[in-house]
């Protein structure tokens, strides 16, 4: 299924280009750029996500506000790549931020779509930072909601919604 989804992603990005949200797909990342990003993260990216960056593009397409890129690719509204986002959250929340849970997409209102890079399946999780911070230890785990799909299924679901609409959102 993953090769089929990669092929569909390539076709969608080639067909659609940017969209009304001014997202523009970035060209694929180089192997050197991926290696440098993994070095900065301190671990390897999910294998499918790595293939997307190498074969489809360095972000700027996909669900919601689009896939965030590696450094030099698509960024969030603060100019942050996935490396910047992961390192910033891991530093700010210290041991509370799950190891190897990488934010790859902004859903709006501070919510982030994250991929678990600790396992090859790449389970997707939504992080919602909006709960009250009266006692971080009590509410922290409630900010993470399993999406019930892995990264391949996440992209496939987006592609299924775009087949009738050529815009990449």
Other Cβ atoms less than 10 A from the Cβ of 157: the count is 15
Residue 66 near residue 77, CB atoms below 8 Å? no
Can you give the pLDDT at residue 42? 97
Would you say residue 14 has pLDDT above 90? Answer: no
Number of helices (H), then strands (E), in the chain:
6, 4
Pairwise CA distance, residues 125 & 109, whole Å: 16
Can you give the pLDDT at residue 153? 97
Pairwise CA distance, residues 117 & 99, whole Å: 9
DSSP string covering 148-165: EEEHHHHHHHHHHHHTT-
Would you say residue 19 has pLDDT above 50? Answer: no
Can you give the pLDDT at residue 16? 75
Can you give the pLDDT at residue 85? 97
pTM above 0.85, yes or no: yes
Arithmetic mean of pLDDT over the chain: 88
Overall CATH class of domain 2-162: alpha beta
More confident of the two residues 128 and 155:
155
Beta strand extents in the chain (DSSP E only):
101-108, 111-116, 123-127, 144-150
Can you give the pLDDT at residue 169? 43
Taking only the tens place, the pLDDT of each residue in 94-141 is 888 999 999 999 998 889 999 999 999 999 999 988 655 556 666 778
Can you give the pLDDT at residue 17? 61
User: For 9, which DSSP code?
Assistant: H
Distance from the first to the final alpha carbon of the chain = 22
Can you give the pLDDT at residue 140? 77
Q: Where are the domains of the chain?
A: 2-162
Taking only the tens place, the pLDDT of each residue in 60-70 is 999 999 999 99
């Amino acid at each position: 299924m993953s090769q089929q989804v990669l092929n569909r992603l390539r076709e969608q990005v080639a067909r659609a280009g940017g969209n009304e949200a001014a997202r523009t797909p970035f060209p694929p990342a180089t192997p050197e750029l991926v290696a440098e990003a993994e070095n900065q993260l301190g671990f390897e990216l999910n294998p499918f996500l790595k293939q997307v960056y190498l074969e489809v593009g360095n972000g700027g397409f996909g669900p919601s506000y689009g896939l965030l890129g590696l450094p030099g690719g698509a960024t969030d509204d603060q100019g942050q790549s996935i490396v910047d986002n992961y390192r910033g959250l891991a530093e700010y929340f210290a041991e509370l931020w799950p190891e190897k849970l990488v934010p790859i997409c902004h859903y709006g209102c501070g919510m982030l779509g994250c991929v678990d890079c600790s396992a090859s399946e790449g389970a997707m999780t939504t992080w919602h930072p909006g709960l009250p911070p009266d006692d971080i230890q009590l509410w922290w785990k409630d900010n993470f909601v399993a999406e019930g799909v892995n990264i391949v299924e996440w992209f496939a679901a987006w592609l299924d919604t775009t087949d009738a609409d050529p815009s990449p959102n």
